[in-house]
Structure 1
């Protein structure tokens, strides 16, 4: 009979580690994504506004102008699209990542950093196709429309219907390629950083010990920080491709990137870094913390 000290090792060797159920991953991811999107939305609003063409404005100037002209609720223009899209996105992301991770793990259930990178890349591609591109295209158009003298969209539902009527179903899939590239890079970098740091921290802890929420939040925040600086140019190109003038200004995402670089300078690719950094640091902490805790509740 195994002693108390031997039990964790015997358990680890004698039977496989518990696997996340797809429905649990989907539920936990969707809840985490919806909460994160609502809490951090003002930073997403400011980031998107700062990435449009024209005169550059600081995040503080954008906030002041929006609050003065539209009130505090103006900072939540397009929020509904992102909350719904983020819930679906996070659900798809975690289900996809768990699936790819199981396929790539070794006999001990561990996933190396390169394999985690591949799993994250696959998860990012899935979420870009099924959730991110349509929700972010609608969100971007609603934000772009909201600060115009005569807005044409009255909200999420009306805006979506009008976009589809005017541009067809492809209207909500503007910027699919840069979105897939961004989400693939986002998930690859974020999950790899998170998994590597988490495995390192767990390696220092006692066998079977659960990481506290504060530690999970901190690891997720660091993962968000790394993600921002490595994927920012793709985010700027994605936003431009989804703006209201994209059809008349850019032939494709390569032409868009070329025009930004030659007409506005390479530094323009990192416009909106501060608000996006604020969002992804908070996002990484919130999403992973909520996800881990919901998964514990679901058993």
Structure 2
């Protein structure tokens, strides 16, 4: 029996960070539309947001806050894959296989780590920049100026606004995404000849399905996260639970799935792009070694 293959941590970090940065830039307009649609006030559809943004800000308007997400997504994906690969191999059996339940635990751990070290700061800054960009006279001139202004006015806690919902969302995101991906990958590999590599199209398809499942199961947490990181959050919500209560009682349960279409577009593409680039990078740099 062939020995199980293990990802080298430094290579997992590099491959994950590269995949995350590329994916964030390619899919950013869908993230912009999703975030804008989740703010309170008048409900706007994706087409309306795109049309109004292009008319008033041009194509560049769809990339407001982009660098915050690219940097954060790169770090996030690096942390995610290193943590997940490490936990996955600790929880694997002698043949290197991981049960769905253990993959869920590894994904949950990866999501918690990325939320603390990468996602919360970058998402808070990105959300505030997008919220600010819709004002007639935006106060932030870009990533660096915006970050400095937020920290100066609100302190470090200002960029960690919404940490709890982000940890819940990222934990759920990674748990669902990695479990779906790993389960489908093991199933498909079980139908192939020993040593045969998964075709790129199949990897992309499995990653896309993982993104689809992730969207619908974690959307309420994403809406709460966006509201908690908006410019008006401090004056409207005492905490994440108060935010969820107000959305439910004042706007209805369906509001928790606002922004599903653009997020679905992004995460389906994201799942395909990230896993495809990650697997290609790992293969190219010889990032897997035999278990000892």
TM above 0.5: yes
Contact 2:5/2:96, CA 8 A, preserved across alignment: no
Partner residue, 1:4: none
What aligned pairs does 1:116-195 form with structure 2 within 5 A after superposition? Answer: 116-195=103-182
Does residue 47 (structure 1) correspond to residue 34 (structure 2)? The answer is yes
Aligned-residue offset at 1:22: 0.4
Partner residue, 2:237: 250
Partner residue, 1:61: 48
Q: CA RMSD in A?
A: 0.5
Partner residue, 1:91: 78
Aligned-residue offset at 1:235: 0.1
What's the CA shift string for 1:60-95, capped at 9, x where partnerless? Answer: 000000000000110000000000000000000000
Partner residue, 1:227: 214
Pick from 204, 211, 220: which aligns with 2:198?
211
What aligned pairs does 1:277-288 form with structure 2 within 5 A after superposition? Answer: 277-288=264-275
Calculate the TM-score normalised by the size of structure 1: 0.95
Aligned-residue offset at 1:18: 2.6
Does residue 110 (structure 1) correspond to residue 97 (structure 2)? The answer is yes
Equivalent residues, number: 286
Greater RCO between the two (CA within 8 Å, min separation 6)? 2
Q: Quote the Cα distance in structure 2 between the aligned partners of 1:122 and 1:77.
A: 31
Calculate the TM-score normalised by the size of structure 2: 0.97
Pick from 208, 215, 228: which aligns with 1:241?
228
Q: Quote the Cα distance in structure 1 between the aligned partners of 2:134 and 2:5.
A: 50
Aligned-residue offset at 1:149: 1.2
Structure 1 residue ranges without an equivalent (≥5)? 1-8
Partner residue, 1:273: 260
Partner residue, 1:25: 12
SS in 2 for 1:19: strand
Q: Quote the Cα distance in structure 2 between the aligned partners of 1:110 and 1:194.
A: 13
Larger radius of gyration: 1
Aligned-residue offset at 1:150: 1.3
